[in-house]
């Protein structure tokens, strides 16, 4: 897999395929074509050269406890709680696979992957595809590695900032982003990056939370905004997608959960 150096956007980094084989531990360094070097520890490639400040919400994702409990305790139940009706994780994965339709030779990216739920689902649906997953939390990537190893799923796990993605333009056939939009500090910059790394006609799957219509739920969202989360109406988030030059192909909302299929 080819990456773009985070310090020199002309320089290429080639990741050996073994890095994605999570059944075998890989620790070492990789070097860009201009000589800058990066660590790979237990298959996680670290491309963060300068850590930016985190919001409170982002900081909690750097706690080992959050990373350990996130998927099993929260994520698997979250859509049923947020939509107000039974919404099993399998239904979300079905929609993901239906809209992204991963090809055997395709290259896909999970942005702000946390424990790489979407990345694992894509790889399971299309075992010959290549999947990269990025997050700036080492703790989340460590948990993603454990879960992918248990599922016998090969993934490239990369510690990187979604505001400056370490990929060349038009690399991916699809980009997926589950719940991350609400947590970003610079959502438009990240959407521009998603558009840049997608091939022409590539697809982007976004699941995000919208502003509630109910005053009591709005009160909770307002206090979460204080911690760094953001919520938009559907129209407001659609404007963001359009500003990043995406076309909205499909969309539906249930409760405060919005699923959108975008094309580049
Ligand atoms: C709500 S969680 C996403 C969950 C995951 N996509 C899922 O579907 O279960 C948001 C994740 O985005 C990561 N994140 C937030 N801002 C980021 C950024 N600028 N670059 C990389 N990761 C980021 C956080 O560390 C966190 O793990």
257 lines ligand 1 (CB under 6 A): no
Residue 205 is assigned to a structural domain of this protein: yes
Residue 174 is assigned to a structural domain of this protein: yes
Residue 177 is assigned to a structural domain of this protein: yes
CB 240 within 8 A of CB 233: no
Nearest residue to 184 via CA among 135, 243, 244:
135
Residue 10 is assigned to a structural domain of this protein: no
136 lines ligand 1 (CB under 6 A): yes
99 lines ligand 1 (CB under 6 A): no
What SS3 class is residue 176?
strand
The CATH number assigned to the domain holding 215 equals 3.40.50.150
Q: Whose CA is nearest to atom 13 of ligand 1?
A: 112
CB 36 within 8 A of CB 8: yes
Model pLDDT, residue 74: 87
pTM given for the model: 0.96
Cβ-based neighbour number of residue 24 at 10 Å:
9
Distance 61 CA to ligand 1 centre (A): 8
Tell me which residue range forms the domain holding 101. 50-263
133 lines ligand 1 (CB under 6 A): no
Distance 8 CA to ligand 1 centre (A): 24
Helix (H) or strand (E) holding 82: helix 76-83
Residue 43 is assigned to a structural domain of this protein: no
How is residue 158 written in tokens? Answer: 């990369």
CB 260 within 8 A of CB 254: no
Tokens 């947590």: give the residue.
Answer: 183
Residue 228 is assigned to a structural domain of this protein: yes
CB 130 within 8 A of CB 156: yes
CB 70 within 8 A of CB 170: no
Of 183, 204, 228, best ligand 1 pocket probe by most atoms within 8 Å of the beta carbon? 183
Nearest residue to 175 via CA among 131, 213, 231, 125:
131
Residue 38 is assigned to a structural domain of this protein: no
The structural domain count of the chain equals: 1
Q: Whose CA is nearest to atom 12 of ligand 1?
A: 112
pLDDT tens sequence for the chain (264 residues): 999 999 999 999 999 999 999 999 999 999 999 999 999 999 999 999 887 888 888 888 888 988 898 898 888 888 888 888 899 999 999 999 999 999 999 999 999 999 999 999 999 999 999 999 999 999 999 999 999 999 999 999 999 999 999 999 999 999 999 999 999 999 999 999 999 999 999 999 999 999 998 888 888 888 888 888 999 999 999 999 999 999 999 999 999 999 999 999
The DSSP 8-state label assigned to residue 6 in this structure reads S
How is residue 218 written in tokens? Answer: 């709005």
> Can you tell me which atom of ligand 1 is nearest the CA of 70?
9
Residue 23 is assigned to a structural domain of this protein: no
The total number of residues shown for the chain amounts to: 264
Backbone angles phi, psi at 176, to 5 degrees: -125, 145
Q: What are the DSSP E strand ranges found in 10-75?
A: 12-14, 28-31, 37-41, 44-46
């Amino acid at each position: 897999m080819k990456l773009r150096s985070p310090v020199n956007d002309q320089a290429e980094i080639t990741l050996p395929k073994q890095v994605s084989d999570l059944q075998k531990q890989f620790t070492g360094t990789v070097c860009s074509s201009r000589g800058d070097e990066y660590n790979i520890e237990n298959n996680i490639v670290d491309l963060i050269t300068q850590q930016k400040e985190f919001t409170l919400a982002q900081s909690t994702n750097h706690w080992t406890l959050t990373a350990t409990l996130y998927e099993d305790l929260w994520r698997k139940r979250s859509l049923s709680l947020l939509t107000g009706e039974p919404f099993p994780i399998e239904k979300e994965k079905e929609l993901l696979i239906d809209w992204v339709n991963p090809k055997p030779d395709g290259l896909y990216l999970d942005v702000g992957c946390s424990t790489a739920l979407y990345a694992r689902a894509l790889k399971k649906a299309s075992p010959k595809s290549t999947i990269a997953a990025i997050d700036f939390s080492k703790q989340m990537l460590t948990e993603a590695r454990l879960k992918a190893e248990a599922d016998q799923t090969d993934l490239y796990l990369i510690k990187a900032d979604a505001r400056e993605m370490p990929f060349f333009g038009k690399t991916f056939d699809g980009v997926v982003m589950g719940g991350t939009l609400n947590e970003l500090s610079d959502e438009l910059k990240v959407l521009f990056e998603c558009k840049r790394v997608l091939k022409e006609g590539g697809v982007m799957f976004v699941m995000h939370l919208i502003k509630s219509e109910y005053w009591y739920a709005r009160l909770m969202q307002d206090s979460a905004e204080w911690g760094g989360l953001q919520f938009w109406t559907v129209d407001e988030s659609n404007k963001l997608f359009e500003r990043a030059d995406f076309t909205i192909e499909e969309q539906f909302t249930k409760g405060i959960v919005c699923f959108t299929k975008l094309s580049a």
